[in-house]
Chains A and B, each alone.
Chain A
C-alpha cells in the first residue's frame, strides 16, 4: 500500500476514534439530569414545560396554563405501591388548598392510561391528572422513581425541595406553604 494512502487511512481512523470519544464526552457532560439538581443547590429553576393528555377529562393540560397558581406536581404510576398510600393525602391537600389558588396535578407516567383511570376512581381523586406513557417529562425534572413530588410557585419556578418517595402530610403542607409564600 502506498505510504500516502496508508497515512491517509490512519489519519481518518484516528479522526473517527477522536470524534466518537468527543461525542461520548459531550453526551456525559450534557446528560439531561433535570432541574432536580439545580433545586438541590437551592436554586429556583423554571418548572419544565409539559402539555399532556388529561386522564380526568378530555383534552390536554399545559403547565403554562396554571401560571399564577401554586402547583403541587406529583409523578406517579398505578403499579407503584407508595403512590397508593399517598393518594388520599394529595386529594385532601387539593380539597383544603384549592381556594387559595393551589392546584394538585398528577402526572401518571410509564403506565397504561386505563390502569391510571382505575386508580383514580379507586382512590376517588378529583384533582387534574395527565398521562405521560413514554415518560418524556421525567428526565426534564430528573425524576428517578415513583412517587416524586415537586412544588411550583406562582411564578412558574420550582420552590423548596423535591420529595422522593411517599410524601407525608407534614411535607405536603410545608411545601405548599413555602410555595404560597414564594
Chain B
C-alpha cells in the first residue's frame, strides 16, 4: 500500500516536470537563464544580449525544442554560467550535495550537543538527592518550623 502511495506521488510530481520540459514557456526559462553581461536572470534584465536570448528562446520554443535542448544550446554558446542553477552532474553536483551535507552535519552536531547537555545535568539531580550537612539540615528545619508557626 505504502509503495503504491509513493509511486502515485512520484508520478504526480514527475508529470508536471516532464510537461514543463517538453513544453517550456519563455516565462519559466527567463528565470532559469542568466544574462551574460549583467549577471542577473533574463527576467531582470533589459540588456541587448538579454533581449536577443529571449528572442532565441522564443524561436526555439516555436521550433518545438524541449527545455533541456534549449538550455544545452545556450550552454554551447555561452558556457555553463548561462544557467542560473548549476547542473546536477560532475563537479557542479557539489553545489547541490554540499548544502545537504552541511545541514546533516549541523543536525548531528546539535543532536550531539543536546545529548551531552542532558547528560551533564544528570549529576546535578543526583547531588540534589544527597544527604544535607547536619548543621544545614538543622537550620532548614528551624526555619521551616518558624514558617509554620
Q: A-side interface residues toward B, CB under 8 Å?
A: 1-2, 5, 77, 79-80, 110-113, 115, 133-136
Residues of B contacting A: mostly: helix
Give the nearest-CB partner of A113 in chain B: B77
User: Known contacts A1-B113, A2-B120: does B78 contact A133 (CB below 8 Å)?
Assistant: yes
User: Known contacts A79-B48, A79-B49, A110-B49: does B117 contact A134 (CB below 8 Å)?
Assistant: no
Give the nearest-CB partner of B36 in chain A: A110
29 contacts between A and B (CB under 8 A): A1-B116, A1-B117, A1-B120, A2-B120, A5-B113, A77-B49, A79-B52, A80-B48, A110-B36, A110-B37, A110-B78, A111-B49, A112-B52, A112-B56, A112-B77, A113-B77, A115-B52, A133-B76, A133-B77, A133-B78, A133-B79, A134-B36, A134-B78, A134-B79, A134-B81, A134-B82, A135-B36, A135-B37, A136-B79
Given the complex, which residues of A lie within 8 Å of B79, measured CB to CB? 133-134, 136
A179 to B78, CA, bound (A): 32
A5 to B116, CA, bound (A): 10
Give the nearest-CB partner of A112 in chain B: B77
1/0 contact string of B89-118 vs chain A (CB within 8 Å):
000000000000000000000000100110
A133 to B76, CA, bound (A): 8
A110 to B78, CA, bound (A): 6
Give the nearest-CB partner of A115 in chain B: B52
Tell which of B49, B76, B117 has the most Cβ of chain A within 10 Å: B49
Other than the known A1-B113, A1-B116, A135-B36, what 20 A-B pairs have Cβ atoms closer than 8 Å? A1-B117, A2-B116, A5-B113, A79-B48, A79-B49, A79-B52, A80-B48, A110-B49, A110-B78, A111-B49, A112-B56, A113-B77, A115-B52, A133-B76, A133-B77, A133-B79, A134-B79, A134-B82, A135-B37, A136-B79
1/0 contact string of B47-79 vs chain A (CB within 8 Å):
011001000100000000000000000001111
Closest CB in chain A relative to B46 CB, distance in Å = 12
Given the complex, which residues of B lie within 8 Å of A77, measured CB to CB? 49
Give the nearest-CB partner of A132 in chain B: B79
Given the complex, which residues of A lie within 8 Å of B52, measured CB to CB? 79, 112, 115
